[in-house]
Amino acid sequence: MLSAFLNAFRTPDLRKKILFTLGILTVFRLGSSIPTPNVDTAAIRTCAELATTGQQAGMYSMINLFSGGALLQLSIFALGIMPYITSSIILQLLTVVIPRLETLKKEGGAGREKITQYTRLLTIVLAVLQATSFTMLAVNGQLFQDCPDDIVYSTNIFPIVVMILTMTAGTSIIMWLGELITDRGVGNGMSVLIFTQIAATFPAAMWNIRNGQPDPNQGLLVMLAVIVIGLFVMAGVVYVEQAQRRIPVQYAKRMVGNRLLGGSSTYIPLKVNQSGVIPVIFASSILYLPVLFTMFQPTGRLAEWVAANLATGTGLWYNIIFFTLIIFFAYFYVSITFDPVEISDNMKKYGGFIPGIRAGKPTEDYLAYVISRLTAPGSLYLATISLIPSVAILWFNADQNFPFGGTSLLIMVGVGLDTVKQIESQLHQRHYEGFLK
Q: How confident is the model at residue 433 (pLDDT cuts 50, 70, 90)?
A: low
Residue closest to 404 by CA, chosen among 387, 427, 426, 421: 387
Tell me: the pLDDT tens digits for 168-212?
Answer: 999 999 989 988 998 888 887 877 887 887 777 777 777 777 776
Question: Can you list the pairs that 384-390 forms with residues at least 24 positions away whose Cβ atoms lie under 8 Å?
Answer: 385/233, 385/237, 385/409, 385/410, 386/280, 386/283, 386/322, 386/323, 386/326, 386/410, 387/319, 387/322, 387/323, 388/233, 389/313, 389/314, 390/313, 390/314, 390/319
Give percent of the chain above pLDDT 90: 6
Q: Which helix (H) or strand (E) element contains residue 261? A: strand 259-261
The length of the chain is 437
Residue 139 has pLDDT above 70, yes or no: yes
Predicted pLDDT at 161: 92
Q: Give the pLDDT score at 121.
A: 92
Higher-scoring residue by pLDDT: 109, 361: 361
CA distance 415 to 191: 6
How far is residue 219 CA from its own chain's centroid? 30
Are the C-beta atoms of residues 245 and 305 closer than 8 Å to each other?
no
Tell me what the pLDDT averaged over the chain comes to: 78
State residue 74's pLDDT score.
83
**pLDDT value, residue 124:** 93
